Structure 1
Amino acid sequence: MSSGSSGGSGGGGGLNWKEVVAILGVITGILVFIFGDKFLCNLKGVNVGFLRCDNPSEPKAATETPALPPKFPPSSEPVKQDPIPFSSPTSTPSPAPPTPAPVSPSPTKTPDIEQKPVVEPKKSSDPNIGILKESRIFSDRITSKDQERTYFFTIKDKPSNVSLYLDNVSNQVGMWLYVDTNGNKIIDYGEQIGDALADSNSPGTISRTLGPDSYIANVKFKGGNSDYNLQIVSNTNDAINVKSLQDSKTFSDTGSLNRQNRQKYYLFNLKSTSNVNIILDQVTNQVGMWLYVDTNGNGVIDYGEQRGDTLADSNSAGTIKRNLGADNYIVVVKEKGGNTNYTVTMTSQ
């Protein structure tokens, strides 16, 4: 009996398992409070249910998820910096705002187009023709605000038969010809050598034999705003030189007469007296023809040198027959009734 009680007392002297567990629990709680769950979870062999230890075999969804968002922005930044919207030719025109950009320059041109009918033509510098070697044509406009145009030309070396034609007007327009003897390009008193008026029904014409000198042609407003054409022609320079019409020689030429070519000059000479026959035909409108003798050999028509004239129309030819002595001669074919073709034939016997 006594031995059994001593064994129980001996057992009371040690810690039973419940006490050990309680002590360990207190110690564990203190360590968790101080170091946290991770400290004990990292100890090998420790697997206490109430500790919040992660199982390596399980996905770390709860802990890894917050870390993912910072990784996405760097990977998406190249998309934000994509240069295609700025450099791609296909993407640039597609948005609606860029579409009006190419159209925007058009309004800057519109005022110019709208102003053309109402703005008076700008006055250009007075044309300086220089030496008159061939036909010159000028188209311009005069108004009540811009009333005249002046043209300068020179005849050099030898005299020339010069014609000025003013037409294509809608109101009366005046034309004057001056000789600029002192070469100052200013119209002075006493220098006028010709004038003419043009209207919508008839052109203005000045024809003169001009010696070597400087000349001024002046077109001036008279009856209202008007466009005009001015043609200045050196007939002598444009002449066809047949040279000798001798020994039964025949010369024939086919030409046309119109606003740009109103008359044609032909030059020929005879070394001895001959019977000359000049025929003008194959015309559709009335055409005049004149024969002159160039007694002084200056190549131009002077007063008193006419030796014959004729008219040709669509129904009949014009003919000049003369017995002509040795000399130089000029034949002029001139439009009278409108544009037409013509043929002139010269024969000596």
Structure 2
Amino acid sequence: MSVNLFDANFYRTLYPDLARAGITTDAQLRQHFLDRGITEGRQFSRFADINYYATSYPDLTNAGLTKNQLFGHMEQFGIGEKRRPGVVFNAAYYRAVNTDLAQANLTDEQLVQHYQNFGLKEGRVASEFFNPTVYLNSNPDLKAAFGNDFEKAEQHFLSNGIREGRTSSLPIAPATDPGNLPSVSYELGTLLTRPTFVDSVGTPDPEDYYRIILDKPSNLNLTLGGLSSNTTLKLFADVNNNAAIEPGEELNSVTGTPSSLAAITRNLAQGSYYIDVVTGSPTSSSSYSLSFAASAIPTTTASDPGSTPATALNVDTLAGTRTYQDFVGTTDRDDFYRFVLGDVRSFNLSLSGVSDGVTANLYGDSNSNGSIDPGEFLASAGASPSSIGSIARTLGAGTYFVDIVSNTPTVNTSYNLSLTA
């Protein structure tokens, strides 16, 4: 069922330049967004976000959907497939926690319209990540500034609160029971806040799977507590985004007890991850409290260097020294850089600042076809926590690639790369 997520009144108010250009009707505003606004990065809704949708559902971006196609998918299929259009609205959750709306048998489109027109003004909760009343009461400066204006609270949360790490929700139960397989996991989308979920595992529901997306290299912290019997917390990386756990994708496993927490803290590349809460034995059961938190790891690249030569970060002509700080890990093992030399140069590469084994490989694109062919490998250097990797050699005019690659699938580390010519 198609759901109209374009909010003409919001778009009209946010962009007064359109009225000056004679674009005033709802139909004209929507057409402007589809023709130009979406590529210009204009917002079309108070709560739906194309960028959030793209990062939260890599199956769509991996399928090559453009921003226009992502918007079309969001409206035509996304809500019906229980996908989140943004961090503050989840139709399934809105229905689950507002019993009057569930009893009224509102469709997904009606739920969207209700939230846009009434729900937020009434202070209703539409997402596990944002409770407008909690947000205002937990942040006295905002309460003093906004009173009980929930629309201003939501606006502040999206524009500043997430970045500032402000408290935005209380521990809550999932809207539906997390499934006992990755394919039926409880989808949390892109992890932008620090939610805590309370639930239980036991016979006949021994496992609860959650799925999160990290949209950038991050330090992930998971804490499992409130246990009445031994319970294990597991972390997996969905390296190939196939919604299944395969050999080599388990990253951590820690068991908590009634008197001790189970905690996982790990630096991870951007990507898709599963968290599994599982009972300690087939006959045991336990309630639990599971907390999530992720903080971005600093990088200096404008965008993530691609994992293939075709998607390499383009350094362009290398003259002097360029330095980069980025990250490689289980879901992003390769970072490719492309540079060009206009004449014969003395080239130096330095790789440092790693917490595990990482290798730098240098290739020459001798036939300028943008790919790496047999015979184009030139040199390699390894770096470790106690040693710097370096390459020094004379290179002729031409195009070159540097590949920074983690030595094993379980390596997750930042690195510092210096290129000089």
Normalised TM-score (structure 2): 0.30
Bigger relative contact order, structure 1 or 2 (CA pairs below 8 A, ≥6 apart): 1
The structure with the largest alpha-carbon Rg is: 1
Higher strand share: 1
TM-score, normalization: structure 1? Answer: 0.35
